[in-house]
């Protein structure tokens, strides 16, 4: 018990120190940080992970370059939340709470919890599942607050995903982000309501990570989401980047956009816009009148699977591929071990 507490304290201290030191860190400093983490870790899995990270940084692997971007492009609060909340509290530091939960209930708790915080939306995208539900409903603030508090204390969860509807329609959520400053909030947003003022609010909170939806290029995005939406999303990315907010892109694969969204050019363009993560989802037809024509074909799914699992995304030499960060590879490795099929929806750091 005492050893556990000591180990947790050492790791928490490391996460705190790392978050400070990583600002403008050189590759040598990043390498030393992981060496330090290996020393303070008591859990063998943490030591292995730390060695792996250090090796990747030293080999000039895309993960090292991604870390470099984290160190230079994010504002201090966003960087601290990424390291202390997402990689610290939600991952390295939650082991004892997770073990306690598993002992009590006989199964492992999740690493993240997803809330559809609202059914309201300012857009009407073709094929959207949210359109099948009431358009005026929000999850009550008190319910969200209680569920998050319980998830943290009982399951060790510190990573929460907000979807909708359009989460940025809810201004009361700023209070929630601030009330749970030890957690990381990833929000899936159409991006059209994010302006300079909202970007500044997210920067001030630090622990909010918007994932902005695009469907591919401007034509594909506007065709599915509405005229002018692509330009608004690009402008939102510029505002977020200016504020040093951690953000990424989110794409839904449909029959008409697979070639574009799996291309190097697409990823490259969003990296240059400031995205540090990217998430890929597949269109799933649900509701009373699902549009089966939007679904990707079996052949397209295979193309995506190979692209996704091709660890060459991190290894091969074309510029965009070499800039897709390492977690794609780790995700693939875990995928093979677990046999899970939903890793395509996983987080993808990009550099
Ligand atoms: S922005 Fe999202 S929630 Fe809103 S209509 Fe489009 S897909 Fe649905």
DSSP string, 98-156: HHHHHHHHSSPPPS-EEEE-BS--S---TT-GGGGS-SS-B--HHHHHHHHHHIIIII-
Look at residue 33 in the predicted model and tell me its pLDDT.
81
- Domain positions in the chain are 2-58+75-95, 108-328
Residue nearest to atom 6 of ligand 1 (CA): 125
Entry pTM: 0.83
pLDDT at position 144 is 96
- Average of per-residue pLDDT across 21-50: 79
Closest of 182, 246, 206 to residue 12, by C-alpha: 182
Residue among 351, 269, 261 at smallest CA distance from 308: 261
CATH architecture of the domain covering 108-328:
Alpha-Beta Barrel (3.20)
Mean pLDDT confidence for 121-133: 76
Higher pLDDT, 313 or 289: 289
Taking 90 as the threshold, does the pLDDT of residue 109 lie above it?
Answer: yes
Integer distance in angstroms from the first to the last C-alpha of the chain? 40
Q: How confident is the model at residue 239 (pLDDT cuts 50, 70, 90)?
A: very high
Per the model's pLDDT, the better-predicted residue between 200 and 30 turns out to be 200
Nearest CA to ligand 1 atom 1: 190
> For a pLDDT cut of 90, what percent of the chain falls above it?
48
**Local confidence band at 130 (pLDDT 50, 70, 90 cut-offs):** low
Give, for ligand 1, the residue of 188, 192, 211, 225 to mutate: max count of ligand atoms closer than 8 Å to Cβ. Answer: 225
List, for residues 161-211, the tens digit of each pLDDT value: 999 889 999 999 999 999 999 999 999 999 999 999 999 999 999 999 999
Residues with CB under 6 A from ligand 1: 121, 123-125, 128, 130, 164-166, 190
Cis peptide before 97 (omega within 30 of 0): no
Tell me the β-bridge partners of 86. none
């Amino acid at each position: 018990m005492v050893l556990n507490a000591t180990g947790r304290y050492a790791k928490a201290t490391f996460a705190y120190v790392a978050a400070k030191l990583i600002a403008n860190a050189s590759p040598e400093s990043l390498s030393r940080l992981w060496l330090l983490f290996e020393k303070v870790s008591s859990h063998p899995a943490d030591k292995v992970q730390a060695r792996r990270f250090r090796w990747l940084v030293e080999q000039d692997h895309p993960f090292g370059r991604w870390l470099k971007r984290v160190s230079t492009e994010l504002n201090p609060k966003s960087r601290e939340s990424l390291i202390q909340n997402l990689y610290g509290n939600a991952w390295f530091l939650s082991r004892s709470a997770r073990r306690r939960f598993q002992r009590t209930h006989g199964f492992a708790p999740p690493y993240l919890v997803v809330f559809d915080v609202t059914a309201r939306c300012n857009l009407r995208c073709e094929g959207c599942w949210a359109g099948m539900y009431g358009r005026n409903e929000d999850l009550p603030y008190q319910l969200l607050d209680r569920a998050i508090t319980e998830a943290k204390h009982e399951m060790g969860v510190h990573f929460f995903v907000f979807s909708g509807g359009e989460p940025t329609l809810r201004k009361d959520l700023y209070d929630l982000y601030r009330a749970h400053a030890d957690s990381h909030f990833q929000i899936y947003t159409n991006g059209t309501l994010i302006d300079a003022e909202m970007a500044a609010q997210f920067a001030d909170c630090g622990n909010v990570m918007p994932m902005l939806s695009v469907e591919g290029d401007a034509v594909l995005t506007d065709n599915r989401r509405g005229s002018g939406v692509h330009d608004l999303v690009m402008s939102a990315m510029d505002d977020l980047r200016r504020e040093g907010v951690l953000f990424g892109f989110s794409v839904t694969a449909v029959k008409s956009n697979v070639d574009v969204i799996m291309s190097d050019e697409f990823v490259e363009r969003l990296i240059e816009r400031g995205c540090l993560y990217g998430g890929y989802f597949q269109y799933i037809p649900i509701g009373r009148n699902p549009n089966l024509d939007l679904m990707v074909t079996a052949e397209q799914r295979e193309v995506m699977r190979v692209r996704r699992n091709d660890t060459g995304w991190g290894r091969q030499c074309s510029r965009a591929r070499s800039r897709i960060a390492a977690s794609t590879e780790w995700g693939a490795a875990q995928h093979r071990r677990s046999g899970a099929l939903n890793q395509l929806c996983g987080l993808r750091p990009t550099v």
